[in-house]
Structure 1
Amino acid sequence: MLHTSLYCRSFPSPSHLRSLVLSSRLFPSVAVRTSPTLSLRRSRANRSIAMAATEDNRIKRIASSIRVIPDWPKPGVMFQDITTLLLDPLAFKDSIDLFVERYKDKGITVVAGVEARGFIFGPPIALAIGAKFVPMRKPNKLPGEVISEEYSLEYGTDVMEMHVGAVQSGDRVLVIDDLIATGGTLCAAIRLLERVGAEVVESACVIELPELKGRERLGDRPLFVLIKAKGV
């Protein structure tokens, strides 16, 4: 051991030290080791960077697959058409995957889909995270006994319903829809679920139209969206 230590000191230059390390078979006491903690940190950092880049690419793909139709259904409206997203299997899968990754470990027991486009995104998310899917429908669409919640619209009022007993007190619920505009529909869904004692963990939408201030209407209730877009 003494001989090896003295031998190391006799080669101060980096090139000689490198040669010595490469010859570690002759001098087994000389070793260069990477700190396990440092390696773990580097691995985690690289993984985080890769995940962020992947997520960014998925968001771009989703956004580019959504068609915008001006002046529909009335002048001045920039309609966000998700039917073109559904025609792109990769973009559609990206949207589902992003929601699943967010909610898979949050103890969600119910995914509540708001009519009608919440019925598109809700079931695959529910299946992936092991939750039941509950449709929240417009009046007179559900055949059994229902609980109802009336809510206001720009041009009047509407009603949302769900089956009695579909959601239990203590259920942890994710409310899903394709888009949040003024927030009236999501607010009604949340109130309906809270009336039966459920905990609404979060509401989630593919698209948000920020200028219509739906997020403000939700108050302190959490909202997650994939894309922010212009609707007017």
Structure 2
Amino acid sequence: MDLKSLIRNIPDFPKPGIVFRDITTLLRDREGLRFAIDAMAQTCQAWEPEFIVGMESRGFMFGVPLAYQLGVGFIPVRKPGKLPADCHSVEYELEYGSDRLDMHKDALDPGHRVVVVDDLIATGGTAKATADLLERAGAHVAGFCFAVELRELGGREKLPSNVPIVSLVQY
């Protein structure tokens, strides 16, 4: 299936010169969504995860059905102030400023095998911060899986070189 044909391109969003890759058109297409989740599941199953980790918020859209499909748990990584229990936190740099990601301290035990899932990897900052957060928790990152990758932004180069990285669609 040509998933790229199901992703809408919006020029000059959020600012001039940027082409926004809108996955909402993929999400609304029942065959496309099923194909994407099935393809991600086929890839991730080989990595034998115990948990899928998804970043707020679009990582939840792919991560939860993927965890369900694989019969494993789902761990949310959230923006500051969204989780009620004690958290591991990591701050990371954005193009303009910084941000923080949180994960419950009791979400994972040391050595748990996890796969990090998100809708898109661009510069890799959020995925790298998530990997750092998981390392702090003692988890083993078995792989990264993205629906879309913007190759020209070099995000995969920020991720651990010894961990597999798969994206269904590349631009």
**Normalization by structure 2: what TM-score?**
0.96
Backbone CA RMSD of aligned residues:
1.0
Compare CA radii of gyration and give the structure with the larger one: 1
Query: Which residue, out of 120, 130, 135, partners 2:71?
Result: 130
**In the alignment, does 2:19 pair up with 1:78?**
yes
Per-residue deviation, 1:158 = 0.4
How far apart in 2 are the matches of 1:202 and 1:105?
10
Per-residue CA deviation, residues 119-167 of structure 1 (Å, 9 max, x unaligned), is 0000111111121100000101111111100001100100000111101
More helix by share: 1
| Other-structure match for 2:134 | 193
User: Mapping of 1:178-217 within 5 angstroms?
Assistant: 178-217=119-158
Per the alignment, in what secondary structure is the counterpart of residue 79 of structure 2?
coil
What letter matches 2:105 in structure 1? V
Question: 1:100-127 CA deviation, whole Å, 9 max, x = no partner?
Answer: 1112243210100011100000011111
Q: Indicate the SS of the match to 1:177.
A: strand
1:224 aligns with 2:162: no
Q: Which residue of 2 aligns with 1:169?
A: 110
The AA in structure 1 aligned to 2:168 is: L
Q: CA deviation at 1:222?
A: 2.4
Between the aligned partners of 1:107 and 1:208, the Cα distance in structure 2 is 23
Write the distance in 2 (CA, Å) between the matches of 1:107 and 1:72: 38
Uncovered stretches (5+) of structure 2, i.e. residues with no partner: none
Q: Give the share of equivalent positions with the same residue, in percent.
A: 47
Letter in 1 for 2:59: G
1:56-85 CA-to-partner distances (Å, cap 9, x unmatched) read: xx2x1x111110100101111100000011
Greater strand proportion: 2
Q: Secondary structure at the match of 2:16?
A: coil
Asked if structure 1 preserves the Cα contact closer than 8 Å seen for 2:47 and 2:143, the reply is no
> Is 1:113 aligned to residue 51 of structure 2?
no
Distance 2:7 2:132 in 1: 30
Runs of at least 5 residues in structure 1 that lack an aligned partner in the other structure: 1-57
Write the distance in 2 (CA, Å) between the matches of 1:64 and 1:148. 37
CA drift of 1:219 comes to 4.3
Q: Distance in 2 between matches of 1:200 and 1:114?
A: 14
Give the secondary structure class of the aligned counterpart of 2:123: coil
Do the aligned residues in 1 keep the contact of 2:44 with 2:145 (CA within 8 Å)?
A: no
